[in-house]
Structure 1
Amino acid sequence: MTVSPLRILVLLTTVALAACAAPPVSVPLGMVTTANFSDRKPHDWARRTPQSYAVHGIDVARFQRPLDWGQARINGVNFAFIKATEGGDLLDPMFADHWRGAGRSGVARGAYHFYYFCTTPQTQARWFIQNVPKTPGMLPPVLDMEWNPFSPTCTLRPPANIVRRNAQIFLRILKAHYGQQPIVYTTPDFYEKNQMGRLGGTEFWLRSTAAHPSEKYPNERWTFWQYTSTGRVPGALGDLDINVYAGSPASWENWLARRQIR
């Protein structure tokens, strides 16, 4: 079921008047709210547009100031991927704040790890597990694999077979701990260079800001699509990455029931 922001505000106002106090803004997990977003640099989509998908969400890291997650939730943030860790020793300083805020507002939340090619996958998996609690209802963990040309300490770009092998090691460790196969996030160039489609049994979260994923990732199935990095969302300051889920509201409800951490 999809619920508009106006209807939610009316319901919350009624509750507040009855209780003589303003309640925290929270929407039941899985209830789809309609996206009320804008884009500072919108793309002119030639094929199917992001707005044709019903279930939208965001991803955040330390670059985003504290959000009003309640406002974001009623305005269409149904899910959020939150950066937790990077490499084997970096914890995102905003992870705890974003994690709590999203959870309190009924946003389906998941944590992601930014892969560092100069540290073993075992070390990185242990670091993620150390810092991301196994929380009932959370989304599967995410492995973010992309080249980082701005890294001051690691310029290593291993061969494709080594990239995929290390990804599989990381994914196996996290699956054993969290009980769900992690999702893999990647970019068009990284996906092509490393033949990431050869990772069997993987659900993908794909970046494509200038074309539909079907154009950038031919024949690849995807669950989440990151379509802009210049989005504007009520409750948040500045630019945000915005994403869509591939299916309908009913499909989203079923996906959550199947893929949430127990």
Structure 2
Amino acid sequence: MRAVTRIVSSAVLLAALSACGGGHPRGIPSRFDDVDPYAWRQNAPDTYPVHGIDVSRWQGQIDWHRVSGSGVAFAFIKATEGGDVADPLFAHHWQGATAAGIPAGAYHFYYHCRGGAEQALWFLENAPPRAGTLPPVLDIEWTQSRNCPRRPDPETVRAEAQAFLDVVTAAWGKRPVIYTTVDFWTENEMWRLGGYPFWLRSVAGHPQETYGHRHWTFWQYTGTGRVPGIANEVDLNAFAGSEAEWQAWLAAATL
């Protein structure tokens, strides 16, 4: 029922935009689309030149060559979650992105009912170190799972996250990226985990506004994007810098 409602709402929205003479969401790069756009007024995503996606099984089969042709510059691909779940399309997505020449990185979705080191070993079992790839990613946020409703105190959250990061850093030889959300960042003071690239979700405002002028490397600005080659909605992300800065970051990060 929720999916049907979204489709109807999106159709109404697109019709309204078309009637006003503008069918493309303001602030989104013109090569992409958004079925549920935010009304960007300043510091919009399209002020950044480098954009990418993150995907999992929920995007289904992907035509990666079409994705590459649309201007997608990078892709983060879900490998695992918790201590015993592997994404069934990880290998397919990884092979497709690589074949299409899109720099890719693997990510792990963290569950607060298992220890950080245990989850790191599960991630490494499914996404072992690879040369020439984007750094691995720890996706840590509050889960909505009925099997794991646990919400540890901030000190425990950061300690277990650090345990995960230490194990993965030792194996990969590079520091992972940390992905998180506004509420999780604030409640657990995630900025205390210094020295890591941060990937911040902020779909209703620039990270400078929602994260208090903290440094970020990647910005997830919508979860309802549309990209050629992907039938379903997909997360869209911007890199915090120019094309030249992206190439420099990429060269250093993929050693």
Q: TM class, shorter-chain normalised?
A: 0.7 to 0.9
Quote the offset at 1:35 in angstroms.
6.3
Contact 1:122 1:169 in 2 (8 A): yes
Quick check: 1:39–1:231 contact (8 Å CA) kept in 2?
A: yes
SS state at 2:237 partner: strand
- Among candidates 105, 116, 120, match of residue 121 of structure 1: 116
What displacement does 1:76 show?
1.4
- The whole-number CA distance in structure 1 between the counterparts of 2:224 and 2:167 is 34
Aligned counterpart, 2:89: 94
Q: Which residue of 2 aligns with 1:239?
A: 233
Asked if 1:221 corresponds to 2:215, the answer is yes
1:41 to 36, 39, 42: 36
Q: Show the counterpart of 2:53.
A: 58
- Aligned partners of 2:138, 2:130: CA distance in 1, in Å? 18
Counterpart-to-counterpart distance in 1, 2:46 and 2:131: 30
So what's the TM-score if we normalise by structure 2? 0.87
What residue is the counterpart of 2:206 in the other structure?
212
Cα distance between partner residues in 1 of 2:87 and 2:146:
17
Deviations 1:231-256 (A, max 9, x none): 11001102110001011110011001
Counterpart of 1:176 in structure 2: which amino acid?
Answer: A
Structural mapping, 1:12-91, within 5 Å: 36-91=31-86
Letter in 2 for 1:237: A
Question: Are the counterparts in 1 of residues 207 and 213 from structure 2 also a CA contact under 8 Å?
Answer: no
1:131 maps to 2:126: yes
The answer on whether the counterparts of 2:140 and 2:180 sit within 8 Å (CA) in structure 1 is yes
- Structure 1 residue aligned with 2:17: none
Distance (whole Å) between structure 1 residues aligned to residue 165 and residue 43 of structure 2: 31
Runs of 4+ in 1 over 2 A off after TM superposition: none
Distance in 1, Cα, partners of 2:64 & 2:116: 33
Q: 1:200 aligns with which of 194, 197, 213?
A: 194
What is the CA–CA distance in structure 2 between the aligned matches of 1:102 and 1:238, rounded to whole Å? 17
Distance in 2, matches of 1:169 and 1:228, equals 30
2:165 pairs with one of 162, 165, 171: 171
Match of 1:157 among 145, 151, 154: 151
Which residue of 164, 181, 184 maps to 2:178? 184
SS in 2 for 1:81: strand
Contact 1:35-1:56 at 8 Å conserved across structures? no
TM superposition shift of 1:51: 0.7
TM-score (norm 1): 0.85
1:225 is paired with a residue whose SS is: strand
What one-letter code is carried by the residue in structure 2 that aligns with 1:39? D
8 Å Cα contact 1:35/1:76 also seen in 2: no
Q: Distance in 2 between matches of 1:222 and 1:235?
A: 28
1:218 maps to a residue whose letter is G
- How far, CA to CA, are the matches of 2:138 and 2:207 in structure 1? 19
| Alpha-carbon distance between aligned partners in 2 of 1:224 and 1:200, rounded to the nearest angstrom | 16
The superposition leaves residues 31-78 of structure 1 with CA deviations (integer Å, 9 ceiling, x where unpaired) of xxx861011111111221101111000000010111110111111111
Looking at structure 2, the residues matched to 52 and 142 of structure 1 have their Cα atoms a distance apart, in angstroms, of 25
Tell me the secondary structure at the aligned position of residue 63 of structure 1.
Answer: helix
